[in-house]
Chains A and B, each alone.
Chain A
Amino acid sequence: MGSWFASPADARERLGAAGYLAGDGVATPVFLAAALEKPLLVEGPAGVGKTQLAKAVAEVCGAELIRLQCYEGLDEARALYEWNYKKQLLRIQATGDQGWEETQQDIFGEEFLLERPLLRAIRRDAPAVLLIDEVDKADVEVEGLLLEILSDYQVTIPELGTITAVRRPYVVLTSNATRELSEALKRRCLYLHLGYPTPERERDIVLAQVPGIEAALAERLAGTVAVLRALELKKSPSIAETVDWARTLVALGRAELDEATTAGTLGVVLKHASDQARAAKELGLPTA
């Protein structure tokens, strides 16, 4: 692959320059995924930047991002390839007196193949990042389909034969761990657990993402969010929500996070009434 990252430090620097602050724990797997040509499975709670990581890798490496969004009922036709029936039918109707053999050869050619993300990622000769998003949402059968692609970077299409990757894509799989992925899939991947960041890192993220915020306010925000996450809420605030909160405060023109401000804007980070009540109790906020 070569063109990806030279070392973990290089990965950290370049991701950082693109606005994705990564520590050792993130930069090393990101570097290894390219160096060992293995897919990278990123697991963790919602909103900690799993998808964002794939986007950042694509951006800093100048690669195209090819995204396969998984959902229940996703099948081969949506993930891999499909024949363009309509066009095939037209072709058959247009050549009325052609023989069967010829027609058959015609209609199962390149021209009638609709490539879906997986096939597209394999056939592309320019660098590509293949993002298989929320793989835990897909059915178990899809995992089976992924196994061949992820271990050998090839797929078999009955009419065309086996297609092997010209240039191996950089593969990122993300999962919220709603379902345990199969051992076979996990074994083939490098594993990265993206958890919530330390308050220091989160402060830096807020400072990088929200222009015009005071450092003291960012620090206080990060600390408050850390306390909220320790409360065993139904839905812990994610990094994205911390950033939203920071933006809200900037938009409101608040320079400080006092009790009244916190109570008034808690809805930005906590989306359940019971969570809000609990946080208000723990932090000793005035109830609205």
Chain B
Amino acid sequence: MGLLDRHVRFVAALRAAGLPVSVAEGLDAARAAGVVDLAARETLREAYAATLVKRAAHRPAFDTLFDLWFPPVVGASQAADGMDLDHAEVPELRERLAGLLMAGAATAGDPEFAAFARAMVERFGRQPAAAGRQAWFSYPVLRALSPGTLMAGMLRDVLAGQERGGAAEKVARRRLEDALAAFEEAVAADVRRRIAEESGIEKIARSAVRPPPEQVDFLRAAKADLAALRREVHPLARRLATRLTVKHKTGRRGRLDFRRTVRASLATGGVPLTTHTRPRRPHKPELVVLCDASDSVAAFSQFTLLLTYALREQFAKVRAFAFVDTVDEITRFFAPGADVADAVTRMTREADISRFGRSDYGHAFERFAGRYGEAVGPKTSLLILGDARTNHRPPALATVRDLAERARHAYWLNPEPRAQWDTGDSVASAYGGVVEMVECRNVAQLAAFIEDL
């Protein structure tokens, strides 16, 4: 494969993995590759990254694909001190691994560390497959070396006599855990490289890359994804706050500020060349968030609570309500400065949102209108978050319509794909008829919703 061909197919693979790479950016990357030293692989990687990756969240996917398309040149698997990695006993290898991890070789990008990982894959990762082919796996490598069990010994060595259990141990443990994760990643990367050599890059590329966080489905988000989502949500809440404010700032200028205008005119001989105006009083949007906290949308409600928390910090007046089959105000748990994880646990323990544990939108809305109806007024933006699955209970459409009409804006964000609306017990269209309903399955769609406001 020529360099140009490799470049073109690499860019195509990035696009296939969900990275928005334009034609112009592809050209920039090619130009960048022309001015750096192609033999220095890390420089080439950074040159490609600078031209092709425009969001930090896309970087892991980029790195995985780069390793596949521009694999490292593999040298002999001989350690620096002459240790024979192919035949050494397992305890020796474990000792070597512990040494490398403690020296911080993993995070510092030490070539010896990479060579060690490669040698271990070579030795333990091979599994015979059909007809003269071989398969590669990282699991047997990690089983053979079981790096996790090295922790206790390494901690003892690193701390070397300092007292245990305190801050010093936390710090050391953290460093070693990072190093361990780096080892596991190095093994996985080398396994991917070998699979790519065996059966073609495109084949492995499709399964090796996880979707970028802004396209992760809220309803299917795994625990690791949630942490990434959390980082994406905060700036979005700030944007939502600005969007709702800016919308009412139509026309930059307010009333003429006579005093300032006259004072400024002194400098120009009494001719009022520049007029000064009083800044408009900024519109303080009030937000009422109603979110479904039932189990069917557990991952989504995790996210909505994060959003609520982030919004709470941005808006002067936010009132948040959560419901399952009855509703309670949860604003108090999300006071500015509160810890979000604490707030969520306290909320699930203390808030009165569930009687039978199955969502009942109708009852929840009736209760809301009855107990907190006064929260929604002509200055309020009403945001409802939920999948509109009522468990076949009456939906209380009239109440929702009444709430929506009283509010300045009302939006409903639904985490289900549009194709599944109205299937089963979903009454999405019925609610959609009274409140504007938007499909909001991932951060990308949430961002688009905010942009369109």
Where the two chains meet, the residues of A that have a C-beta atom closer than 8 Å to any C-beta of B are 7-8, 24-25, 27-29, 31-32, 35-36, 38, 41, 43-44, 85-86, 89, 93, 177-180, 183, 186-187, 189-193, 195, 198-200, 220, 223-224, 226-227, 230, 232, 234, 257-259, 262, 272-274, 277-278, 282-285
From DSSP, what is the main secondary structure of chain A's interface residues? Answer: helix
Residue of B nearest to A25 (CB): B46
User: Chain A residues near B107 (CB, 8 Å)?
Assistant: 198-200
Are B235 and A178 within 8 A (Cβ)? yes
Are B230 and A232 within 8 A (Cβ)? yes
Q: Counting CB contacts under 8 A, is B227 at the interface?
A: yes
Q: A180-B447, A192-B50, A284-B166 are in contact. Are A93 and B56 (CB under 8 A)?
A: no
Complex formed: what's the CA distance from A8 to B45 in Å?
Answer: 12
Are A38 and B28 within 8 A (Cβ)? yes
Q: Which of B209-248 contact A (CB under 8 A)?
A: 227, 230, 235, 238-239, 242
Could you say which of A35, A195, A278, A284 contacts B35, with CB atoms under 8 Å apart? A35
Q: Counting CB contacts under 8 A, is B274 at the interface?
A: yes
Are B273 and A177 within 8 A (Cβ)? no
Q: Counting CB contacts under 8 A, is B170 at the interface?
A: yes
Complex formed: what's the CA distance from A95 to B22 in Å?
Answer: 57
List 4 tightest A-B contacts by C-beta distance, closest first: A28-B46, A29-B50, A223-B171, A193-B56
Complex formed: what's the CA distance from A200 to B103 in Å?
Answer: 11
Residue of B nearest to A272 (CB): B337
Q: Counting CB contacts under 8 A, is B15 at the interface?
A: no
Complex formed: what's the CA distance from A224 to B25 in Å?
Answer: 39
Complex formed: what's the CA distance from A38 to B51 in Å?
Answer: 10
Q: A29-B46, A226-B174, A227-B171 are in contact. Are A89 and B37 (CB under 8 A)?
A: no
B138 to chain A, nearest CB (A): 24
Q: Counting CB contacts under 8 A, is B251 at the interface?
A: no
Residue of B nearest to A226 (CB): B174
Could you say which of B32, B56, B238, B267 contacts A36, with CB atoms under 8 Å apart? B32
Complex formed: what's the CA distance from A214 to B167 in Å?
Answer: 19
Could you say which of B40, B49, B235, B268 contacts A89, with CB atoms under 8 Å apart? B268
User: Chain B residues near A187 (CB, 8 Å)?
Assistant: 22, 24-25, 54
Complex formed: what's the CA distance from A195 to B337 in Å?
Answer: 24
User: Chain B residues near A36 (CB, 8 Å)?
Assistant: 28, 31-32, 35
Are A179 and B31 within 8 A (Cβ)? no
Residue of A nearest to B335 (CB): A274
From DSSP, what is the main secondary structure of chain B's interface residues? Answer: helix
Are A89 and B273 within 8 A (Cβ)? yes
Residue of B nearest to A257 (CB): B167
Q: Counting CB contacts under 8 A, is B172 at the interface?
A: yes
Are B47 and A32 within 8 A (Cβ)? yes
Other 9 A-B pairs with CB < 8 A, given A24-B46, A32-B51, A200-B108: A32-B32, A32-B50, A86-B268, A89-B269, A191-B50, A193-B56, A226-B175, A227-B171, A274-B337
User: Chain A residues near B168 (CB, 8 Å)?
Assistant: 220
Are A179 and B46 within 8 A (Cβ)? no
User: Chain B residues near A25 (CB, 8 Å)?
Assistant: 46, 49
Complex formed: what's the CA distance from A28 to B174 in Å?
Answer: 30
User: Chain A residues near B37 (CB, 8 Å)?
Assistant: 7-8
Are B56 and A28 within 8 A (Cβ)? no
User: Chain B residues near A29 (CB, 8 Å)?
Assistant: 46-47, 49-50
Residue of A nearest to B341 (CB): A232
Are B174 and A223 within 8 A (Cβ)? yes
In the assembled complex, 27 residue pairs joining A and B whose CB atoms fall closer than 8 Å, in A order, are: A7-B36, A8-B37, A25-B46, A28-B46, A29-B50, A32-B32, A32-B35, A35-B35, A36-B32, A44-B56, A86-B268, A89-B273, A178-B235, A179-B238, A183-B20, A189-B54, A193-B56, A200-B107, A226-B174, A227-B170, A227-B171, A227-B174, A232-B227, A259-B167, A274-B338, A277-B339, A284-B170
Most chain A CB inside 10 Å of its own CB: which residue of B35, B54, B230: B54
Complex formed: what's the CA distance from A85 to B165 in Å?
Answer: 70
Complex formed: what's the CA distance from A28 to B48 in Å?
Answer: 10
A238 to chain B, nearest CB (A): 16
Q: Counting CB contacts under 8 A, is B134 at the interface?
A: no
Complex formed: what's the CA distance from A224 to B175 in Å?
Answer: 10
User: Chain A residues near B53 (CB, 8 Å)?
Assistant: 191
Q: Counting CB contacts under 8 A, is B59 at the interface?
A: yes
Q: A85-B268, A223-B172 are in contact. Are A28 and B25 (CB under 8 A)?
A: no
Complex formed: what's the CA distance from A198 to B32 in Å?
Answer: 27
Are B271 and A89 within 8 A (Cβ)? yes
User: Chain B residues near A24 (CB, 8 Å)?
Assistant: 42-43, 45-46
Are B32 and A230 within 8 A (Cβ)? no
Complex formed: what's the CA distance from A25 to B42 in Å?
Answer: 8
Complex formed: what's the CA distance from A287 to B165 in Å?
Answer: 16
Could you say which of A44, A85, A220, A223 contacts B273, with CB atoms under 8 Å apart? A85
Q: Counting CB contacts under 8 A, is B71 at the interface?
A: no
User: Chain B residues near A220 (CB, 8 Å)?
Assistant: 168, 171
Are A199 and B238 within 8 A (Cβ)? no
Q: Counting CB contacts under 8 A, is B377 at the interface?
A: no
Residue of B nearest to A221 (CB): B171
B123 to chain A, nearest CB (A): 29
User: Chain A residues near B25 (CB, 8 Å)?
Assistant: 187
User: Chain A residues near B22 (CB, 8 Å)?
Assistant: 187
Residue of B nearest to A223 (CB): B171
Could you say which of B165, B178, B242 contacts A284, with CB atoms under 8 Å apart? B165
User: Chain A residues near B54 (CB, 8 Å)?
Assistant: 41, 186-187, 189, 191
Q: A190-B50, A191-B53, A274-B339 are in contact. Are A32 and B59 (CB under 8 A)?
A: no
Residue of A nearest to B165 (CB): A284
B188 to chain A, nearest CB (A): 20
Are A224 and B171 within 8 A (Cβ)? yes
User: Chain A residues near B341 (CB, 8 Å)?
Assistant: 232
Q: Which of B25-71 contact A (CB under 8 A)?
A: 25, 28, 31-32, 35-37, 40, 42-43, 45-47, 49-51, 53-54, 56, 59
Residue of A nearest to B279 (CB): A73
Complex formed: what's the CA distance from A230 to B22 in Å?
Answer: 34
B243 to chain A, nearest CB (A): 10
User: Chain A residues near B268 (CB, 8 Å)?
Assistant: 85-86, 89
